[in-house]
Amino acid sequence: GMPPFSPAIVIGTGYGAAVTALRLGEAGIPTLMLEMGQLWNTPGADGNIFCSMLRPDERSMWFKRRTEAPLASFLWLDLANRDIRPHAGVLDRVHHGDMSVFLGRGVGGGSLVNGAMAVTPRRDYFAEVLPEVDADEMYGTYFPRANAELGVNEVDRDWFESCRSYAYARLSRKHAEKAGFTTAFVPSVYDFGHLEREEAQEVPRSALASEVIYGNNHGKLSLDKTYLAAALGTGNVTIQTLQEVRDITRQQDGSYTLSVRELNPDGGVLAVRQISTRHLFLGAGSVGSTELLLRARETGRLPDLDEQVGQGWGTNGNVMLGRANHMWDTTGTLQSGMPALGIDNWDDPVHPVFAEIAPMPAGLETWASLYLAITKNPERGHFTYDATTDSARLHWAESQGQPSIDAAKALFDRINRANSTIYRTDLFGDTRAFENRFTYHPLGGAVLGKATDLYGRVNGYRNLYVTDGALIPGSTGVNPFVTITALAERNIERVLAEDFA
């Protein structure tokens, strides 16, 4: 018989997907969201929805036998990671040769696991990255709209200067300033008021209880509390979980039929079903949406997709490093898991860097300062389709990360020299000082104006759209979710006005 039909389907529930579903729902269009991860609203036996980073369990990672935290070691000991039962946990680490990509899985996508840093990119750099997008409109309308809907807030400056939670950030600021660099406060979707009450022990601790990458039990405005709650509130949006979209085919009447796996949260596929739609929005993230399109093109299901699908992928120049502090320079044992400060050296003509001052919330004094540097790395990777595994394969060589290391090294060599300090070489599993074999910020694969038109309409097919980080050509100079959100706001406004008449 005929598969069930929904007028609009959105794949995924991350930033691009959530924006799109809200605006479709507000316009009165019945919309179904299909999410491969779980809905995170039910406490486990310990009373918490999410587990902490210090005691990870099966809720932590997406079908792994052992956790794969970004800091592999401390004094070369594998302290951070634990054996776990494979389960549909909230954080995935997808391995592609020399590069692995951290991804959120669940209702809210990356918003469940990220550091909540909500940074609007510099206008001059945004205009450089996406020159065909009207920057006046973005900075006048869509960035403000995204910031308001996401609930972006800033830390109270007086509290910041005197609290325990950001002693580690004040120390890194002191070291940066000694070398002549300036720092900038970083807005957040973590409620800084809640954080103040956490430090005062008036509310349960989350950012102060080493909760970040495996989810926050309190304090964070993840998408399930903002855009997705508003989308459901329209009465026109439905979310179905543990639904992994695999294949997209186009029917003669122009509708799309999806083949969807219903996943068992403890492993395996319960069923495969079909569902059809008129308007199909891909919000499965840079890696997920690119893979869906690439598979559709290479298996002949959507043969007219652009050659640009799979191209233009980047890491946002991510590179992580630690510095060893002197005995008298303590970071403190209480560290907010949510960063609030960054070293802003983006104006450097040779090596622009925006380095967030990251916590190392181990619950003990580590004498280490940690950083996630965002650099301007011109290298790009691309995806090919591997028929034997029916999956997309990322091509990115470790050497392509070298420009990120060079930029970060230029900055932190100067900070080390000014403070007579050295790099930590015990953090990343071997003796390297710079870790560039993973990214938190995958961007590109179906780039705006290349694989799609200037509003995310996929070239070659009507009523097929990309809404997420796949649209951004590999770099945005800051943490990316505000850019993804604002661009999705811009695109869906145009699509609703023109394609639903």
Stretch that binds ligand FAD, among 108-116, 165-173, 214-222, 489-497 (CB under 6 A): 108-116
Q: At what angle do helices 402-419 and 167-178 cross, to 10 degrees?
A: 90
As a whole number of angstroms, the distance between CA 455 and CA 451 comes to: 11
Question: Using CB under 6 A, which of 8, 9, 10, 12 touches ligand FAD?
Answer: 12
- Min CB(240)–ligand FAD separation in Å: 10
Residue 427 in contact with ligand FAD, rule: CB under 6 A = no
- Min CB(286)–ligand FAD separation in Å: 6
Question: Using CB under 6 A, which of 58, 224, 244, 344 touches ligand FAD?
Answer: 244
Residue 14 in contact with ligand FAD, rule: CB under 6 A = yes
316 vs 325 by CB, closer to ligand FAD: 316
Q: How buried is residue 430: exposed, middle or buried, by Cβ count under 10 Å (0-12/13-18/19+)?
A: exposed
- Closest alpha carbon to 446 in 425, 472, 418: 472
Relative to beta strand 438-439, strand 99-104 is: parallel
Stretch that binds ligand FAD, among 29-37, 48-56, 131-139, 361-369 (CB under 6 A): 29-37
Question: Using CB under 6 A, which of 102, 281, 313, 371 touches ligand FAD?
Answer: 102
Question: Using CB under 6 A, which of 110, 121, 322, 474 touches ligand FAD?
Answer: 110
Instruction: Decide: helix, strand or coil at residue 314.
Output: strand
CB of 227 closer than 8 Å to CB of 149: yes
Residue 116 in contact with ligand FAD, rule: CB under 6 A = yes
- Min CB(329)–ligand FAD separation in Å: 25
- Token duo for residue 285: 């993230």
Question: Using CB under 6 A, which of 6, 31, 67, 114 touches ligand FAD?
Answer: 114
Residue 437 in contact with ligand FAD, rule: CB under 6 A = no
- Min CB(332)–ligand FAD separation in Å: 21
**C-alpha angle with apex 363: 362 to 365, nearest 5 degrees?**
85
- Min CB(357)–ligand FAD separation in Å: 12
Stretch that binds ligand FAD, among 15-23, 38-46, 263-271, 447-455 (CB under 6 A): 15-23
- Closest alpha carbon to 370 in 350, 348, 352, 343: 343
102 vs 423 by CB, closer to ligand FAD: 102
Count of residues of this chain found to bind ligand FAD when the rule CB under 6 A is applied: 41
For the CA atoms of 65, 71, 74, 76, the dihedral, rounded to the nearest 10 degrees, stands at 70
Residue 241 in contact with ligand FAD, rule: CB under 6 A = no
335 vs 479 by CB, closer to ligand FAD: 479
84 vs 325 by CB, closer to ligand FAD: 84
297 vs 325 by CB, closer to ligand FAD: 297
Residue 11 in contact with ligand FAD, rule: CB under 6 A = yes
Residue 284 in contact with ligand FAD, rule: CB under 6 A = yes
Strand partners, 281: 10, 465
- Closest alpha carbon to 346 in 383, 317, 309: 317
Residue 361 in contact with ligand FAD, rule: CB under 6 A = no
Residue 72 in contact with ligand FAD, rule: CB under 6 A = no
DSSP string, 237-298: EEEE-SEEEEEEEE-TTS-EEEEEEEEPTTSSEEEEEEEEEEEEEE-SHHHHHHHHHHHHHH
Question: Using CB under 6 A, which of 138, 207, 245, 248 touches ligand FAD?
Answer: 245
Instruction: Decide: helix, strand or coil at residue 498.
Output: helix
Q: What is the DSSP letter of 433?
A: S
Instruction: Decide: helix, strand or coil at residue 181.
Output: coil
Residue 342 in contact with ligand FAD, rule: CB under 6 A = no
Question: Using CB under 6 A, which of 56, 89, 115, 352 touches ligand FAD?
Answer: 115
Question: Using CB under 6 A, which of 36, 133, 237, 239 touches ligand FAD?
Answer: 36
Residue 13 in contact with ligand FAD, rule: CB under 6 A = yes
Q: At what angle do helices 481-499 and 143-150 cross, to 10 degrees?
A: 110
Just list the catalytic residues.
Answer: 356, 441
- Min CB(401)–ligand FAD separation in Å: 17
Question: Using CB under 6 A, which of 29, 94, 103, 230 touches ligand FAD?
Answer: 103
Q: How many CB atoms lie within 10 A of CB 406?
A: 15
334 vs 446 by CB, closer to ligand FAD: 446
As a whole number of angstroms, the distance between CA 178 and CA 406 comes to: 21
As a whole number of angstroms, the distance between CA 438 and CA 109 comes to: 18
- Min CB(69)–ligand FAD separation in Å: 10
**In degrees rounded to 5, what are phi and psi of residue 484?**
-60, -45
CB of 331 closer than 8 Å to CB of 362: no
Q: What is the DSSP letter of 428?
A: S
Binding to ligand FAD (CB under 6 A) within 465-494 occurs at 468-469, 479-481, 484
Q: Residue 416: which residues within 8 A CB-CB, separation 6 or more?
A: 323, 422, 423
25 vs 285 by CB, closer to ligand FAD: 285
Q: How buried is residue 191: exposed, middle or buried, by Cβ count under 10 Å (0-12/13-18/19+)?
A: buried
Which residues form the interface with ligand FAD (CB under 6 A)?
11-17, 34-37, 102-106, 109-110, 113-117, 213, 243-245, 283-286, 288, 292, 440-441, 468-469, 479-481, 484
